[in-house]
A and B are shown apart, each in its own frame.
Chain A
Amino acid sequence: MPSRTVTLANPTGLHARPAKVFAQAASASGHQVRLTKGDTTVNGRSVLSVLTLDCHNGDRITIDVEGDEAESVLTSLVELVESGLGEHEAGS
């Protein structure tokens, strides 16, 4: 089961809109997506679970995906997080 660890670069972390953007993308992938911060793992398709994981700018989170095209879904979710989850430019 492929997994990658990324650092949240967008200002609000996984709160408000970004939490929704992530959960919706995870749902749309049709795959099981799990999100881990520290020793807590939650359903990445659940906006409430993502919100209550309380991830801030600068936190490291691990995304893992299960399913037929897990590798490409994982890549696109990582890209989504790195691109700032719909918030303005994240990288300098």
Chain B
Amino acid sequence: MSAARLRGSGAAPGVAIGAPFVVEPPVTELDDPGPSGPPAAEKVRLHAALVQAAAELHAMADRMRSVAGEEAEIFEAHAAFAEDPEVEEQAAPLIDAGRSAVAAVAAAFGAFRALLAASSNDYMAARAADLDDVCSRVIAILSGVRRGYDLPEGRSVLLARELTPSQTAEIPRDRIAGIVTETGSPTSHAAILARTLGIPAVVGASGVLTVAAGASCVAVDGRTGEVHVEPDADVLAALTARAAEEEARRAELSAASDEPGRTSDGVAVELVANVAGRDDLAAAVAAGAEGAGLVRTELLFQDRRSEPTVDEQASYYGEVLAAFPGRRVVFRTLDVGADKPLPFVAREPEPNPALGVRGIRLSLRRPKLFEDQLRALLRAHAARPGGGVTGVMFPLVSRVDEVVAARSELERVAGDEGVPLDSVEVGVMVEVPSAALAAGRIAPYVDFFSVGTNDLLQYLFAVDRLVAEVAELTDVCEPLVLDLIAHVVDNASAHGTWVGVCGETASDPEVAGALVGLGVRELSMVPGALGEVKDLLRRHDLSALRSVADAARHAPDAAAARRILARLT
């Protein structure tokens, strides 16, 4: 067998080298063997199979609970499906009519599956795949085709068309070197599970089952998405070196995860996490985030028909605050517009939602909605265990008067609630060019600015980030963008206002270095990026970062500026 190379999408980082092991697809369509006995006996068989399936799923949930707590819930839900009395109820008349237990249970699950799959709700539609997983387990038990007995003997690279959550979880972790699937996306459930378990994985490697059939060795690079079949000595050596390097790097970065962010000469730079929901909290804390620089609150409002109550909001905000005792946590008030309409905020559709009533503009036009959110934030702050600064940040500010109005509403509600504002900071998200240019006028009214680079670039260059053809017109390294951020910092510091950056660009270590050189003192990013950014900052002193940032501002264009920033690596 000769060497071959395929490319899919990297779904979980890391390098894996091992013998391939093909995981057969779950049994969903069997040649129906027909009933093996009279209807009464067939019903007893079905009942026993459902009980056994539920027991297996409960056991799997227990096993998962110790390694991946969130994932355990999935298997508990699967167990509840196997225990559902309606399944037997609906299968019974079919068995009485002469069908086999296999055919009857497939029909019963199939009826529910059709209802789920037809739902316009993503959550419901995704449960259809869960139901398939449970159904195939029951069928396998009934037909004696047991999965799980056929396990790889040593540590292997699993190859499959697609892996279901239970297949991924059922194979002992120490037998899985890596995973390659023909289909699936990096957001598929198996990919998420692989990342949680730290298994290198590549998805969408079309043709891998054919190419790797009978091979003795497969090497996987979960970062680049490359899959090598029968790799030669050079490829193996390169990948082995990469694996050792990545391992050493991970160990090095995680050893420093408790260290504070700072430059080599000790200038503090707060390295904090973006948080979109409860699931992000554990990852942020584990990655050593020194707080949260952008807590999105949209989650509480979306996909529901009535607005969340003050108590409901306060309980969520309290959960977030509890994850970061003594640290600064910045909440962004509701940031939605006509592109994500809320059923309880009746609104006219807008031809151009990016430029319409959204962010603080919506909050100021919906006083009750805004007041409730501020009240909930203040209550959560007052009840905050372990203390710490709570930030309230207003999105899509374009004028000073919006800041004045929003701030006075916060002060009014705080007076009403009797919550002192000593350790509450008020901030503005700088994402509209007019706000960036007005930094000197806005600064007297706020404690901080957080530059949202994604939207700032979109509005500055008049480029829709989602239109691939024009997306490349924007780059945070365009010297004029660096100039604009420097303008914000200079005008802010004249009033004692601190400046952070919470866009995607903060997670690029070299760009982060330049931002610190410009005077930015807080960087908020996805938790996974904290380690590399911290490492780069700790290797340079402030004057080095300043001179690189200054040189980049004087570069002719973004490409030249990026070449200058590369000196930091």
Contact = CB atoms under 8 A, between A and B. Distances in A.
Interface in B116-134: 116, 119, 121, 123-124, 127, 131
Chain B: interface secondary structure? helix
Interface in A71-92: 88-92
B206 interface: no
B127 A51 contact: yes
Interface stretch (B80-88, B255-263, B447-455): B80-88
A15 B315 CA distance: 20
A27 B85 contact: yes
Interface in B79-117: 80-81, 83-87, 89, 112, 115-116
B312 A48 contact: no
B86 A58 contact: no
Nearest to B310: A92
Contacts of B309: 89-92
A16 B305 contact: no
B311 A24 contact: no
A54 interface: yes
Contacts of A47: 80-81, 83-84
Interface string A43-55: 1011111011010
Contact of A58 (B87, B115, B305, B316): B305
Contacts of A17: 73
Given A51-B127, A52-B115, A89 B311 contact: yes
Contacts of A11: 300, 304, 308, 312
A88 B376 CA distance: 14
A52 B77 CA distance: 14
A84 B116 CA distance: 23
B180 to A, nearest CB: 31
Contact of B86 (A16, A24, A43, A91): A43
B312 A89 contact: yes
B contact residues, range: 20 to 34
Interface string B303-346: 01110111110011000000000000000000000000000000
Interface residues of A, number: 27
B331 to A, nearest CB: 17
A3 B119 CA distance: 28
A48 B310 contact: no
A92 B81 contact: no
Interface in A16-62: 16-17, 20, 23-24, 27, 43, 45-49, 51-52, 54, 56-59
Contacts of A48: 81, 84, 86-87, 112, 131
Contacts of B310: 92
A48 B124 CA distance: 11
Nearest to A56: B305
B232 to A, nearest CB: 49
Contact of A57 (B83, B116, B306): B306
B306 A58 contact: yes
B30 to A, nearest CB: 22
A43 to B, nearest CB: 5
Contact of B116 (A45, A46, A52, A89): A52
A52 B84 CA distance: 13
Interface string B58-79: 0000000000000001001100
Contacts of B116: 51-52
A30 to B, nearest CB: 12
Interface of A: 11, 13, 15-17, 20, 23-24, 27, 43, 45-49, 51-52, 54, 56-59, 88-92
18 contacts: A11-B312, A17-B73, A20-B76, A20-B80, A23-B84, A27-B85, A43-B85, A43-B86, A48-B86, A48-B112, A49-B84, A51-B116, A52-B112, A54-B121, A54-B124, A58-B306, A59-B305, A92-B310
Interface of B: 73, 76-77, 80-81, 83-87, 89, 112, 115-116, 119, 121, 123-124, 127, 131, 300, 304-306, 308-312, 315-316
Please list the 5 inter-chain residue pairs (A to B) with the smallest Cβ-Cβ separation, ordered nearest first.
A58-B305, A92-B309, A46-B86, A52-B115, A57-B304
